[in-house]
Amino acid sequence: MTFKSRILSVLALFLAACTGTVVPPEKNPLPQDTKAGPGMFSGESGNILDAFRPSGGGEFGTGAGLNVNGYLWRASLEAVSFLPVVQADSAGGVIVTDWYTSPEAPTERVKLNVYILGTKLRPESLRVSVFKQNKTADGWTNAKASDDTGRQLEDTILTRARILRVKEKASN
């Protein structure tokens, strides 16, 4: 069987499977026929932009747009801004960087994963994982990063997030 005859056979089977019944489309509703009520995105006004505005106590970034604390998110992005960012997912609260080699230490490189675990500005809402590699004759090998490095970065992010919150509250 040639390619053309196979295509024609498949087309014939497809056309035979059609019932031939045409169902007319439903009547389009007029504005007065639609239900009045809250908007699909915001839950209140019907304005899609309301989905990205603060809610629930006025904390920036705790509304429908972000599932994480907005202050922690912004502070985390600032803290890793010198590193090449591979992934930044504000809905999931994950920032993943690529390997970075400092000019001062060309035989070692680091990589960070930042996890924002909640909407509260608390230490439990933030985890930083630090990965380190050393260059050897065989290439890059994994090395143990100091636990203190991750904690220091978490403290830096938390401090910056608190400063951002204070500045925003003062400007309102």
pLDDT digits (tens, 9 = 90+) for 6-20: 665 655 555 555 555
At 128 the pLDDT is 96
pLDDT per position as a tens digit, 131-155: 999 999 999 999 999 889 999 999 9
Please count the structural domains in the chain: 1
> Looking at the domain assignment, is residue 40 inside a domain?
no
> Looking at the domain assignment, is residue 136 inside a domain?
yes
> Looking at the domain assignment, is residue 157 inside a domain?
yes
Between β-strands 139-143 and 100-101, what pairing exists: parallel, antiparallel or unpaired?
unpaired
> Looking at the domain assignment, is residue 54 inside a domain?
no
At 12 the pLDDT is 54
Cβ neighbours for 19, distance < 8 A, ≥ 6 positions apart: none
Tell me how far apart the alpha carbons of residues 124 and 158 are, in angstroms, rounded to a whole number.
10
Cβ neighbours for 46, distance < 8 A, ≥ 6 positions apart: 38, 39, 40
Residue 119: in which H helix or E strand, if any? none
> Looking at the domain assignment, is residue 98 inside a domain?
yes
Strand partners, 88: 95
Cβ neighbours for 156, distance < 8 A, ≥ 6 positions apart: 79
Give the CATH number of the domain where residue 135 resides.
3.30.530
> Looking at the domain assignment, is residue 162 inside a domain?
yes
At 75 the pLDDT is 95
Number of CB atoms found within 10 A of residue 66's CB: 20
Residue 134: in which H helix or E strand, if any? strand 126-136
> Looking at the domain assignment, is residue 112 inside a domain?
yes
At 108 the pLDDT is 96
Task: Give the residue numbers spanning the domain of 112.
Answer: 68-166
Return the DSSP state at 51.
G
At 41 the pLDDT is 43
At 91 the pLDDT is 87
> Looking at the domain assignment, is residue 36 inside a domain?
no
Among candidate residues 50, 87, 93, the one with its CA nearest the CA of residue 72: 93
Q: Give backbone dihedrals phi and psi of 145, rounded to 5 degrees, phi first.
A: -85, 145
Cβ neighbours for 28, distance < 8 A, ≥ 6 positions apart: none
At 104 the pLDDT is 94
**Tens place of pLDDT per residue across the chain (172 aa):** 665 666 656 555 555 555 555 556 555 555 554 455 554 444 455 444 444 455 444 444 444 455 789 999 999 999 999 999 999 998 889 999 999 999 999 999 999 999 999 999 999 999 999 999 999 999 999 999 988 999 999 999 999 999 999 999 998 7
